[in-house]
Structure 1
């Protein structure tokens, strides 16, 4: 298989789950071990990085590991190869295997950990539980000869500018008069050097999402006849995208809390769950947050959830939830392993779209440290 650079693979990954989505301050995401300045043919996707997973990567010929949990979560005081952690890094370096971590940015991303959990639980009408990231709309206003306005509007619409809700190709146009004088060195599209020129122009206004700014400006310049394009770009208060941790959604049909707990066990493939609440009560509105969700019990209650599905529930937080009248189902932290197949599938599709040759392999060993007896 033809190789592709590690930088290319991660740039593609970050087009879906960029670092700016990280919901935790100083979250140790990104390249943790090794280099991306090398060719990659196989990527192993895993929840955690331990010796068993690294041995798997070696056996399968993977040059890169994409993990959800960062292998270096706190700063290292030293790196000793006679310690388990040091031996792990030594093995990675000796076999030239890079490790890239996508933690809370992957929790937040559309199609990331929390969407995958909500999908597994068969929730519908889902929305963000705890908003952590917002993108605003921007207004692009361009002054252009009337003869070229249609071409510009069409080109901007084709890249997604003017897409508002269930409508696209949205724009506004007003007629006016442009006035300018071309100086020495200019090559004016209309008018003569040294003379003030008046031109019938129109002002084309279009709304764009924050993420589309650079592409919209580039498209505008490519479809404008003037050397110097007169335009305005300013931020609106309107939010184009709101993202965050956790999801809130509905079950197709109500269940008792006991039935729902069994549903969680079955769909998330866990042998047991911890439950807080009256198991005979009826639940339908479900909040789910992968990993440690202790901080978000109040958010789940405030959102109107009947039950909160999350891991690592502390004893006193469970008591707080009980006092609030919020049921909780704790399937453990390891259910985030749903990301392995989800990330491999997403990256395979993204690479196929870009004609990038790379194989994404789902890590097979379980990294769940707990056993149920």
Structure 2
């Protein structure tokens, strides 16, 4: 049975908190890192109704997309909805974990799930993130101590490449040195040259982790003065992660594509709003889960035929369409992001096996509850 800290570490590896926007608040909000996790409840919003649903289901963890405490708060008294939610979770022993903009931009994240739900092929990030700058650490260590050193490097974050960790390369060789006066050698004696069977270990690491990895290496190394080198690697270019997604669909009309969108998303009062010629041919689709009007300017001259997102406002949408660029499809914010939850559930089940029960909330937490059409 995993404990909460292990589940948090798993989510952090999939959706690194460091990739969240600076204004965002992601990660563990409440809960004991040492508590066991038997049941996980997945939802878009930590609304009071969702919190009650999670508590009633006996969940040990409520994993949500939107933060409960995004703006600064000075108390969580039960006189407020947020305070009641926090109190209910704490009393029930149910932890709360948020993956927001870090999940928006990740491979396998929110926009990726929406793109899969709409059948996009050959998809890629709409606005790719720069790949993290990388270093290579090379260190020589006595052969019997190499496994422990590799383990310490991995624990510090070295050897993580894409969906793999603990990656390293070793080659056997001979290390030579002579301790001088003042040395306290682990092997050998002062004044006498030594030759030791060593392994040279190489690992790749994110440059931002350099100080922590080097410190872990020095602490784990048996030598008083370990020999090592750090080399900055060439710029790896763009990462397979980023904001939004863009890909292809079988040629269709805007009207038919909008119907596909409506069928792929859970029903809401908002429905699917469309701006553009219904008979326009759609082959290439750009999208952004959640509120995506911040990408409009960059899409005006794109090769996309349509842009799917949420929360489009009147003036930005009107002015965008005046440029004869992509058509617009505006969907409910909650519905677009809900498509990520079944994907996340499958991923958790694969990673945790049968040890944890996962459940996806189907409560519609979109703020709009009904729509009234004008009589015709």
TM interval, short-chain normalised: 0.7 to 0.9
Q: 1:345: which partner in 2?
A: 346
Change (3 A) 1:214 1:358: farther
Q: 2:82: which partner in 1?
A: 85
Kept in 2: contact 1:270–1:331 (CA 8 A): no
Deviations 1:287-332 (A, max 9, x none): 1111000101123335432211100001011012202322111112
Q: Where does the alignment leave 5 or more consecutive residues of structure 2 unmatched?
A: none
3-state SS of 1:61 partner:
coil
Distance 2:69 2:212 in 1: 35
3-state SS of 1:340 partner:
helix
Q: Where does the alignment leave 5 or more consecutive residues of structure 1 unmatched?
A: none
Deviations 1:67-111 (A, max 9, x none): 001112212254442333333333223323221111101111211
Kept in 2: contact 1:129–1:299 (CA 8 A): no
Matches for 1:178-217 after TM superposition, within 5 Å: 180-181=178-179, 184-188=183-187, 193-196=190-193
Q: 1:367: which partner in 2?
A: 365
Change (3 A) 1:205 1:117: same
Distance 1:297 1:316 in 2: 12
Change (3 A) 1:110 1:84: same
Distance 2:222 2:92 in 1: 54
Q: 1:19: which partner in 2?
A: 17
Does 1:64 pair with 2:65? no
Matches for 1:204-243 after TM superposition, within 5 Å: 228-239=225-236, 242=239, 243=241
Distance 1:322 1:113 in 2: 26
Deviations 1:159-196 (A, max 9, x none): 996989xxxx99899x99966546653144xx764145
Deviations 1:7-31 (A, max 9, x none): 2211122121121121x22201122
TM-score normalized by structure 2? 0.78
3-state SS of 2:339 partner:
helix
Q: 2:275: which partner in 1?
A: 276
Change (3 A) 1:361 1:199: closer
Matches for 1:1-373 after TM superposition, within 5 Å: 3-22=1-20, 24-132=21-129, 134-142=131-139, 180-181=178-179, 184-188=183-187, 193-196=190-193, 228-239=225-236, 242=239, 243-251=241-249, 253-270=250-267, 272-324=271-323, 325-334=325-334, 335-352=336-353, 357-370=355-368, 371-373=370-372
**Alignment coverage as a number of residue pairs:** 351
Deviations 1:126-175 (A, max 9, x none): 11112345312323345689xx8xx99xx99xx996989xxxx99899x9
Change (3 A) 1:51 1:113: same
Shift of 1:279: 2.1
Kept in 2: contact 1:19–1:29 (CA 8 A): yes
Distance 1:260 1:211 in 2: 43
Kept in 2: contact 1:43–1:358 (CA 8 A): yes
Kept in 2: contact 1:163–1:170 (CA 8 A): no
Distance 1:357 1:177 in 2: 47
Kept in 2: contact 1:176–1:203 (CA 8 A): no
Change (3 A) 1:258 1:180: farther
Change (3 A) 1:100 1:206: closer
Distance 1:336 1:34 in 2: 25
Change (3 A) 1:240 1:230: farther
Distance 1:193 1:130 in 2: 59
3-state SS of 1:367 partner:
coil
Change (3 A) 1:65 1:263: same
Superposed CA RMSD in Å reads 4.0
3-state SS of 2:288 partner:
strand
Distance 1:200 1:360 in 2: 50
Change (3 A) 1:229 1:263: same
